[in-house]
Structure 1
């Protein structure tokens, strides 16, 4: 069928091509007398059937892409919850460790205060044997009596202070114990939540894999795949236009200096093997506008330079993508992510985590799609990164 259509599109004269009913009909020339009307009708029906099939396939692909978007967005939400919970768990663990250390120090302090109180009580007891009454009865001199009185007052004040400090330490130990118990309970609850969310994530990923397999099976031919890639690129260009408008508005409020002074100095967004390099063949005449860097799912994706997030959403063909505007028309793109850690309007710093590596967009392996554009034109990202 494709060969026939190509043949029909050749710029030859109608009279030279009228060797069959379909060809003559398509070129506007009268069919030969011997042409069979039944054959013409059959070819027309075949053309109609092929067109209907193409239309049905496109609808099926669109439907599967919508399902993929829904699944990958759900996975992103679950993965983000897991990421946040793991961070919270790490903070709790650190806090618990600090509390335990403080508790041990307080217990040591309590032991010291108890020993001091024992000494004070013993000294006060011994001093009591030489009470003022005994001294008076013994005709002791008044200077010595004054000294004993002052000493007794100091002992009493020291004992009261030691008791107060011991009580305060005991109360603080009880407070630390309560905090420890509360945080350990939070940790237990958090671990149960993490286990549940990870189970949910695994189920969502299995469902996604089914959709990806169906999608791959639906886009069978090279021409269908090429058409899908071209459409994806058009979608990206459309979003770039929107992002540029947002960036222009942001620059008006807070100008940024762009990337021009940092060529060859930017840190890599992730470390890993380059699976597809810039300008290498992607499919047919299409070439990669960025690069694809292999890395395990869940590893952090870092912003290569400071800027403002102007796009953070799922984009067909690129999955969950973050676009950072660096000013002066310079933007960096990070696609295929498992989840996004930033939203539109967020300010980010160089080397700050903005996403987690994934395989969204229907990719068959975990990696990061990375691209740099200057005034909307792709440029080789490798030349901007440190060697």
Structure 2
């Protein structure tokens, strides 16, 4: 990624700078050796020139045995002086060169230090990013573990509810006076398909049927619909019937099951207050509970099911969508 590429580039630049510094240090050492040797030679030559000056150039030439010897001494002296001038010029050139090398060396070392600091910071940043990613990965794994546990809990609750329907014994409703039956809709439950009113005012947040959990990528089955609404919102029976279950149920919280006859049932879960008990008669539109979040993993929402012979069917096929 970008951070690793930057670290590689910084390391490559630092390696080149190290080579440059090493080369400059070698050049500096060689020049220092030359300057030291040149200074020693120059000191000897200055001493010799001082003696020549003390004796006098004319005296040196005048003591020649012949004109030929005079010419040879003059040419030799001029060559010596010229060579001495070259040595002194080389010494001056080497001193200027070493000053330049020292300047380049100082600049290279400063750049080397800046590159090392930059490399250290990039490595620290990369280590920090790797640590952050490791923490994020651990968090994701932890959340996925929790999500898987939640999905498994929902599956277990659904299986338990299915098993509960096999063991429920309908409670015969108490006899009602004839006058109290006036206006009661005695039509079979299946004649109300598509006509049932909503059990609570709210918004559907999950639908009936198979679905894939986004966090765990696990396929699960929703045996009803979940309707999100405000806590305390009244929950109403969708049709006449009587209560065959009103208690806490693992995974669903406070739950009520109403028997509507002909093996049709409706389930209301995640309730807060429950106003009916087992055996109570309920009428269509009657408030039977209030909305809560007991047993819910997503906040206040009503879990609503319609079942026939204990098997869940799509509630939206029964509710009046108008």
> Which TM-score applies when normalising by structure 2?
0.48
Structure with more strand by fraction: 2
The structure number with the bigger radius of gyration is 2
| Larger relative helix fraction | 1
